[in-house]
Amino acid sequence: MDSKERILVIDDELIPRYSIQQVLKDRYTVFTAAGGAEGLNFMAHTPADLVVLDVKMPDMDGIAVLKELKKMYPATEVVLLTAYASIESARSAVRLGALDYLIKPFDKTDVLNVVERGLHKKRAHETVRVERDSLLDKNKYLEEQIARARENIMMCYDGTVKALILAIDAKDHYTSDHSENVSRLSSLIAESLGMPKDIRDELSQAALIHDIGKIGVDEAILRKKGALTAEELVELRKHPEIGARIVSAVPFLEKTSQIILYHHEVYDGSGYPEGLRGEEIPLPVRIISIADAIDAMKHDRPYRNRLPMGSIMQELRNGAGSQFDPFIVDLIFKRKILEK
């Protein structure tokens, strides 16, 4: 295959067409066309690297041909041929993307120089294009790798959370179902508060495993019907700290450890383990506490029967400002979250 660069000379006059072909034919593969339409037709089949184009042609004005060439073959360089009389159009053609112009009668060296300059520019562009394409390919490959790695990590995250939920379930079936409900309800509240999705996801994940510490509590205490003794209560109340310790060992669950640690803090400061009050209690915890209480009231527990919805609503109203964050209670009623 001919590896020489390809030049197309478009000129309606035979003499300049022929003489340019003669000047260039030793270095390049030169084709000729006797008019704009013929030249464009040739380009459609075999695009040239550079076009030498006459400005004044009867069938199609050189400027119109230039515009078409630059639109269809932006990488092809165009050098214009002009008589001295048309020099202004040639100058304006440079603004339209032509490389340069040659004034008839032209000098052989000028022709060779301008063509070589045009091809050099095209080669440089080609090199940049190839490098850019290769970088884009590499970038695409890396993005795919990152997406796959992220997917794997997310699967590991999900797997870890599921394993923790199964661990709670094995110990206390109520707790695992309850955690699912608390997670769903917490998400609804967080959404109504306009919390961003990543924070909501973190919150619902924390809600799912908030009672994970119960795997460190004696089953007899968890399942005991009737009131707990003071000692048993102390034992049960260790579960937030146990849970926080468990999740703090898992890097991506670190952020949930604080929520788990404080999930039994109460708005008026009567909770445990630290007796935090009001806004000292992290907002996700204030959300989960309410969701936790609502779901507990909706189900039978070893120590009491489930409450009807009317009583749950009354309990929430009574507890606003003491047991619960009054702003969130208000939001639950305003947005009818209990009905969802």
User: Closest CB to Fe ion among 265 and 325?
Assistant: 265
295 binds Fe ion per the rule CB under 5 A: no
> Shortest approach of Fe ion to residue 302 CB, angstroms?
15
DSSP 203-214: HHHHHHTTTGGG
Task: State how far the alpha carbon of 7 is from the alpha carbons of 2, 66, 77, in Å.
Answer: 13, 15, 10
- Provide the mask over 157-196, with x wherever binding to Fe ion is found by CB under 5 A and - wherever it is not: ----------------------------------------
The sheet that has 6-10: what strands, in order across it? 29-33, 6-10, 50-54, 77-82, 100-103
Task: State how far the alpha carbon of 175 is from the alpha carbons of 224, 239, 263, 295, 296, in Å.
Answer: 14, 12, 14, 11, 10
> Shortest approach of Fe ion to residue 283 CB, angstroms?
18
12 by DSSP, 3-state: which?
coil
DSSP-derived pairing of the beta strands 50-54 and 77-82: parallel
Radius of gyration of the chain, Cα coordinates, nearest whole angstrom: 39
> Shortest approach of Fe ion to residue 264 CB, angstroms?
6
> Shortest approach of Fe ion to residue 141 CB, angstroms?
47
Beta bridge partners of 320: 324
108 near 87, Cβ under 8 Å? no
Phi (first) and psi of residue 320, to 5 degrees: -60, 125
Q: Give the whole-angstrom CA distance, residue 91 versus residue 89.
A: 5
Residues 6+ apart with CB under 8 A from 122: 49, 50, 75, 76, 77
Q: Identify which range of 11-19, 128-136, 207-215, 280-288 contacts Fe ion by CB under 5 A.
A: 207-215
Task: Give how many residues touch Fe ion by CB under 5 A.
Answer: 1
Measured from each CB, the residue nearest to Fe ion is 211
202 binds Fe ion per the rule CB under 5 A: no
User: Closest CB to Fe ion among 38 and 241?
Assistant: 241
User: Closest CB to Fe ion among 17 and 178?
Assistant: 178
* Structure-token pair, residue 46: 């075999």
Q: Identify which range of 82-90, 121-129, 185-193, 204-212 contacts Fe ion by CB under 5 A.
A: 204-212
> Shortest approach of Fe ion to residue 196 CB, angstroms?
26
Q: Identify which range of 107-115, 139-147, 188-196, 209-217 contacts Fe ion by CB under 5 A.
A: 209-217
Q: Identify which range of 61-69, 110-118, 208-216, 279-287 contacts Fe ion by CB under 5 A.
A: 208-216
> Shortest approach of Fe ion to residue 150 CB, angstroms?
32
211 binds Fe ion per the rule CB under 5 A: yes
> Shortest approach of Fe ion to residue 215 CB, angstroms?
12
> Binding residues for Fe ion, per CB under 5 A?
211
